[in-house]
Chains A and B, each alone.
Chain A
Amino acid sequence: MDIRGSNIVVQYEGKEALKGVSIEVNKGEIVTIIGPNGSGKSTLVKAICRSIKIDEGEIILEDKNIHSIPTKIIARKLAVLPQVKSVSNDMLVEALVSYGRFPHLGFGKRLSKEDKDIVEWAMEKTGTIGLRDRNVITLSGGERQRAWIAMALAQKTDILVLDEPTTYLDISYQMEVLELVKELNKTLGISIVMVLHDLNQAIRYSDRIYVLKDGLVFDHGDPCEILSKETLKDVFNIQADIYEDLQNKCPYIIPNKIN
């Protein structure tokens, strides 16, 4: 098992954003967290990535509490692609990807030959090698997201956490990113934890889904089974029909009206 979070409670200014959430991510799995706005998806992901402190509960990464492991060591096991990122106007793709080697560098050390090879490899895997000399800000949405994923990949971790990797991208870029994530999972065995808004994408690309509502896990399990009409009504407040997507062999949700 890669990650085990139990009874996670997070408070934001007196309000409980997470009220005792437990989550497990097994090796080589794609786990997607879904839920309406304000249900605590991003909070959960930030807690797992130690960007926010948890008030109760614990998060275990490979048998150790993440708050007892030095942050640099965690960064060798778990890479993060947050929602909010910033780059300077003149940041080149290759430079960005090379920062992925930071957790492996000793104090004041430069990139070794091995580090540079890994940066090459990460760019190759994400199809960004042709973009290496481009400014990150001049890239298209999909290219930019691939460059960030390349940076995370260069960390050479077993786990990759992505917070809404498809938000603000148009549909072809969304697919581009999700296909890449799936490919990295299949070919490299990297465990994936991500937050998605699109329910159909979540069903199609995940091994397991966690449905969050009001800071609690409403349900979790096989994507083909847990998103019933009742769940959609209770959690997302919509009436929907569920069809079968024959090509991808999974359910397909068509929302009809707001409850």
Chain B
Amino acid sequence: MNSKKQKLMILVFMVLTIVIFLLSVGNGAVQMSPVKIIETLLYDKGSTSYQILWNVRIPRTIIAALVGINLSLAGVVLQGIMRNPLASPSTIGVSAGAGLVGLIFLILFPQYYYLAPIGSFLGALGATMLIYGLAWNGGVMPTRMILAGVAVSSLFGAGNNALMTFYPERVSGVLNFMVGGLASITWGDLKLILPYTIICSMILMCLPTRLNILMLGDEVSTGLGLNVEKTRFIFIILSSFLAGSAVSVVGLLGFVGLMVPHITRMLIGSDHKYLLPACILTGSSFVMICDTVSRVIFSPIEVPVGIIISAIGAPFFLYLLRGKGGLSYGHKRK
């Protein structure tokens, strides 16, 4: 694939993202056309439609987009630096750590429910550092880190299950957090995620060559003058911030961070110069689509978006996997 094609593809993704944003804002229990949306926002500020748009739909759709951006960027970075197609925010323990601390607040200390987002964010960072420490042996081996992540995740998962077993009556209240939901999003949630999205993605946009070089292997990277340990650490911290802030707002949305990077890589190739901006667009589009479907499909009942993500994502992913003859991924060559 040449760079002209890749640039064109990013342009197409941009247009699609805008269209999907308008569709997502316009659909739900009350339907509005894009023209109606703009009219309402500009000239009809007192109406119920305006209230629905401005206070419910728009913050929710923006946050859906940001969550999509954060999780897919975190996933693409982790898959790159670990040279492992199974790497994702859940693999380095971000989700597990965030989930456990979040649930501790929601179930054990429901009076402090408002601390759950910040708690799960800190849980994400803490778990990442723990796994990084466990995988450290004079340097971090990617495979070791993924295995440590799987082990620690399952330990934290046991903690989650224990909490639910001891407090079954409180489970229904936290269901939205556990399967990932966008139902109760307000403008106030924006400050929990937007700063991380902006800062981390701007830093990442400056580092695509480093990601590309890390894909060539640790020894090649060192030979090219890249400080492998330091670079990998910076990327892990960035992805932990990205994923941690996403989980703190919407709860445990699995799969986005694993799948969107693969789908995008299949579409645009694995040069991070194009892959990173493409992931921003595909990640946000994907979560916005799933959120729209979650509102519309069984309207007026709303399905948690995490369920829709798996239901749409998994078959599409499998379709691409079969079509292209396997995951487009780094192969070890002697």
Binding between chains A and B: yes
Q: Scoring B residues 192 to 223 as 1 if CB is less than 8 Å from chain A, else 0, what string do you get?
A: 00000000000000100100110111111011
Q: Is the CB of A103 within 8 A of B212?
A: no
Q: Scoring B residues 21 to 63 as 1 if CB is less than 8 Å from chain A, else 0, what string do you get?
A: 0000000000000000000000000000000000000000000
Q: Is the CB of A86 within 8 A of B224?
A: no
Q: Is the CB of B328 within 8 A of A90?
A: yes
Give the complex CA separation of A73 and B227 in angstroms.
11
**A residues in contact with B322, CB < 8 Å:** none
Q: Is the CB of B227 within 8 A of A71?
A: yes
Interface contacts (Cβ under 8 Å), in number, total 102
Tell me the smallest distance from the CB of B332 to a CB of chain A, in Å.
5
Q: Write the chain B residue with the least CB distance to A104.
A: B225
Q: Is the CB of A72 within 8 A of B331?
A: no
**A residues in contact with B330, CB < 8 Å:** 86-89
**B residues in contact with A81, CB < 8 Å:** 223
Q: Which size bracket describes the interface of B in this complex?
A: 20 to 34
Q: Is the CB of B331 within 8 A of A87?
A: yes
* A53 interface hit (Cβ, 8 Å): yes
Q: Is the CB of B219 within 8 A of A137?
A: no
Name the segment of A19-27, A44-52, A57-65, A242-250 touching the other chain: A44-52
Using a Cβ–Cβ cut-off of 8 Å, how many residues does chain A contribute to the interface with B?
41
Tell me the smallest distance from the CB of A102 to a CB of chain B, in Å.
5
* A74 interface hit (Cβ, 8 Å): yes
Q: Is the CB of A49 within 8 A of B223?
A: yes
Give the complex CA separation of A91 and B271 in angstroms.
8
Q: Is the CB of A86 within 8 A of B206?
A: no
Please judge, given known A-B contacts A144-B333, A167-B334, whether A86 and B83 are in contact too, CB under 8 Å.
yes
Give the complex CA separation of A167 and B334 in angstroms.
8
Q: Is the CB of B215 within 8 A of A80?
A: no
Q: Write the chain B residue with the least CB distance to A164.
A: B334
Tell me the smallest distance from the CB of A53 to a CB of chain B, in Å.
7
Q: Write the chain B residue with the least CB distance to A82.
A: B219
Q: Footprint of A on B, CB under 8 Å?
A: 1, 83, 138, 206, 209, 212-213, 215-220, 222-227, 269-271, 328-334
Q: Footprint of B on A, CB under 8 Å?
A: 46, 49-51, 53, 71-76, 78-91, 95-96, 99-100, 102-103, 105, 107-108, 137, 144, 152, 155, 161, 167-168
